[in-house]
Amino acid sequence: MATVHLARAYGAAGFERWFAVKRIHPHLAKHASVVAMFLDEARIAASLDHPNLAQVFDLGHDRGEYFMGMEYLHGEHLGGVVERQGALPLGIAARIVADAAYGLHHAHEALDAHGRLLSLVHRDVSPQNIFVTYDGQVKVTDFGIVKASHRLRQTDTGGLKGKIGYMSPEQMLGEEVDRRTDVFALGIVLWEITTGRRLFRCDTFAETVLRITCGHVEPPSSIVHAYSPALEDIVLRALSTSRSDRFATAADMACALEEYLGASGAPVGSRDLRSLMHRVFADPLAHKEAILRAGPDAGHAAAWREATAPDVAELVTSALDGVTVVTPPATMHAWPAAARPHGWAGRRVGLAIAVAVAVGLLAALALRVFFPRSDATRPTTAIVRIATDPPIARVTLDGAHRATRTPILIRAAAGARHRLRIERDGFYPIATTFVARADRVELNYALRRR
């Protein structure tokens, strides 16, 4: 949805500051819904001021384009840290997730100008949206699909928002989400960064949905020898299928992690994170800092100019006095396949700020989920979501009783015709058939009272 550029501002008496400029892709800027999402992200993020949240400090409009000024984060996203390091030491992982939880709690508690709770839910907490700076600071980024009570653009109820592998059961079911949805995602992150594996992601969308909603989580101690029982209890509580069994707030989870760190006898702080980052990323850090020190006026000037779109430089310079956009060329680092933790995706290391934008993933998912595919790639299994109004109805599929409480998710053969019967005391039963023509099917029924 957007491109992020590195920029440097100049001021009086030799003042200089690095920051990031984020602008909507030109081909998307004409779509009102995309612009509204971009403005929501800027407005919401700018209202949040916490050391564990990436800061947005300006929103501008020039020549028909919106852009926002953001804090430049000199570091790596957590996914990149785990790919380079492998499973993290338990104390380091607990410190990172606790700090992220503090930032999310601040967002969850945010009020509007009238003192009303904004009811923010990030909905896209993942290793790609948790940033660890080289100085050992942890920042939660990307509020692009946040749920809030006062958005310019409200998302559709039941719509999938977020990365599939980090969704909660209630997100999968299309139910209302709250702050405990982010707690569940933090639990996934903590499980993954301490085991070096993916928790829920499977080869198909249907299998991923079933793994998340079935409520079975493999204990981390079954993978990592000498995994702390206290930390495992925190992980499994955060990953409870029922929201009422999770931590009530992200702050409660952070406090539990702090207690674990204190009881371990070796508290971990930002200095420990800094040491890890400098050791694991010694070469990329040296390369980045050399370019930062040189700037666009030294030997790298040709590369900086070549990598900077002239229209971007003109756009930002005309709107912000004393700003020069300087986007150095990104460098790709390919790590040997054998050195990669199981299931982690490749990453890009470069000087351009690594603010993850999940909209491309969502668009690809929408195409995959809601549009039929060719016979050669059509799935053999579909996940069917059945909802009723009122809820808590009994469901029978192909003559077999499947559930006593709607809404539910069930597996069905794709492309086949299925018999469905829905019953609830005091209401007329519904008997119908359906064909699962995609790997995700939504069925909604209104029951008529007798």
Q: What is the b/e burial string over 398-417, where b = at least 16 CB atoms within 10 angstroms of the residue's CB?
A: eeeebbeebbbbbbbebeee
Residue 346 pLDDT > 60: no
Structural domain includes residue 359: no
Confidence bin at 1 (pLDDT 50/70/90): low
Nearest to residue 238, comparing CAs of 225, 261, 262, 255?
255
Task: Please report the pLDDT score of residue 392 as a whole number.
Answer: 83
125-166 confidence digits (pLDDT tens): 999 999 999 999 999 988 765 555 544 444 444 444 557 889
Two structure tokens written together for 115: 């003192």
Domain boundary among the residues 242, 271, 300 is at: 271
Q: What are phi and psi of 178, to 5 degrees?
A: -145, -170
Q: Is 81 found in the same domain as 68?
A: no
Task: Please report the pLDDT score of residue 322 as a whole number.
Answer: 40
Question: C-alpha angle 188/194/196, rounded to 5°?
Answer: 90
27-53 confidence digits (pLDDT tens): 777 778 778 888 877 888 878 889 999
SS3 content of the chain, % helix, strand, coil (to 5): 35, 20, 40
Q: How many CB atoms lie within 10 A of CB 34?
A: 18
Nearest to residue 21, comparing CAs of 62, 77, 76, 78?
62
Two structure tokens written together for 266: 């070796």
- Whole-structure pTM value: 0.69
Structural domain includes residue 373: no
103-130 confidence digits (pLDDT tens): 999 999 988 888 888 889 998 899 999 9
Structural domain includes residue 372: no
Query: Which domain CATH number covers 385?
Result: 2.60.40
Judge whether 219 and 232 are in contact, CB under 8 Å. Answer: yes
- The amino acid present at 154, given as its one-letter code, is Q
Structural domain includes residue 11: yes
Task: Please report the pLDDT score of residue 210 as a whole number.
Answer: 81
410-449 confidence digits (pLDDT tens): 778 888 899 999 999 999 999 999 988 777 788 889 999 9
- Catalytic center residues: 124
Q: In what order do the strands lie in the sheet with 394-397?
A: 400-403, 394-397, 417-423, 430-435
What value does the mean pLDDT take over residues 9-21?
Answer: 80
Number of domains composing the chain: 3
What is the rounded CA–CA span in Å between residue 105 and residue 99? 10
Q: Is 82 found in the same domain as 12?
A: no
Q: Give the domain extent around 147.
A: 77-271
What value does the mean pLDDT take over residues 379-400?
Answer: 84
Q: Is 158 found in the same domain as 68?
A: no
Q: Is 169 found in the same domain as 298?
A: no
Nearest to residue 40, comparing CAs of 191, 177, 187, 143?
143
